[in-house]
Amino acid sequence: MAHPPTVPPPPDRRDFLAQAAAVVIGGALALVAPAAGLFVLFDPLRRKAEGGGAVWVASLAALPESGEPRQFPVLATHVDAWNRTPNVRVGAVFLQRLADGGVRAFNASCPHAGCFVGFRADKNCYLCPCHNSTFELDGQVKDRTSPAPRGLDDLPVEIRPGGEIWVRFQNFRPGEKERVPV
């Protein structure tokens, strides 16, 4: 680049060009690093949850004949960023024997804010220990003052030969009226 001449031209015009160039270059310089960073920041948005496949949860024999629900852990392959771990606990379900011989399964996460609900045998209902939502045995919201926006999330159940209970385990977004898979 040429050095400034000894007799400067009208300052406003030369200054304007220099100013414009400085602003444009400066702006471009300031963009590169944050732009590169934002791509990495937003990377999780493109990652879809794996799962949804049926997994063995329990044997039919482990369910009380009385129809009282019982909680079981769900074991599946857990993907956590770079780690892939087969056969670890990824959640829990409640299983309940039905009168017609079938089995009902609920995800144990409360649809309100994601706490784990418990079954209260004395009141014959599910109760969330965080914000006191209550649910009927069929999963419907019991007390209308419950903060839960929807009933417990039921999961597809398959009973395979030998009384094996397989559940298609899935988590849903809490806090929404409609069920949206995570």
Partner 1 sequence: MKPALDWLDHRTGWKKLLHEALFENVPGGARWRYVWGSTLTFCFAIQVVTGLFLWLAYSASAQTAWESVYYIQHEMWGGWFLRGLHHYTAQAMTVLLVLHLMQVVIDGAYKAPREVNFWTGVLLLLLVLALSLTGYLLPWDQKGFWASRVATSIVAITPLVGPALQKLIVGGNDYGHFTLTRFLALHAGFIPGAIIAFIVAHIWLFRRHGLTPKEPRKSSDAPFWPGQVLCDAVACLAVLAAVLFFVVRYHGAELDAPADPSEPFGAARPEWYFLFLFQLLKYFPGGTEFWGAMFIPGLLLAVLCAMPFIGKWKLGHRFNVGFLWAMLAGVALLTWLAVNEDRHNPDYLAAVAAAERDAERVVVLAQSPDGIPQTGAVTLLRNDAFTQGPRLFAANCASCHRFDGGDGLGGTPKGKIGASDLKGFASREWLAGLLDPAQVDGPHYFGGTKFKDDDMAQFVKPEVAGFSAEQKAQLQSVIVAISAEAGLKSQRAPDARDAAIIDQGRRLISTATVRCNDCHQFHVEDKNATAPDLTGYGSREWLVAFITDPAHPRFYGKDNDRMPAFGADKRLSPQEINLVADWLRGDWYEPGAKEGKTK
Binding mask 51-90 for partner 1 (x = CB under 8 A): ----------------------------x-xxxxx-----
Tell me the two tokens of residue 163: 């009384």
In whole angstroms, the minimum distance from the beta carbon of 29 to partner 1 comes to 5
Rule CB under 8 A: choose which of 10, 13, 46, 65 binds partner 1.
Answer: 46
Shortest distance in whole angstroms from residue 76 CB to partner 1: 14
CA angle 163, 107, 58 (to 5 degrees): 20
Residues 6+ apart with CB under 8 A from 162: 59
Nearer to partner 1, 6 or 145 (CB): 6
Cα 146 to its chain centre, rounded Å, is 22
Helix, strand, or coil here: 117? Answer: coil
The nearer residue to partner 1, 5 or 101, going by C-beta atoms, is: 5
- The alpha carbon torsion through 80, 107, 112, 122 (nearest 10 deg) reads -140
Backbone angles phi, psi at 78, to 5 degrees: -105, 125
Could you give the string, one character per residue 8-27, with x where binding to partner 1 holds by CB under 8 A and - elsewhere?
Answer: -------x--xx-xx--xx-
Q: Does 138 bind partner 1 (CB under 8 A)?
A: no
Q: Would you say 25 or 49 has its CB closer to partner 1?
A: 25
CB of 11 to partner 1, least distance (A): 10
The residue (of 15 and 68) whose beta carbon lies closer to partner 1 is: 15
| C-beta separation of 145 from 157 below 8 A | no
Least distance from C-beta 15 to partner 1, angstroms? Answer: 6
Compute φ and ψ for 5, nearest 5 degrees: -65, 160
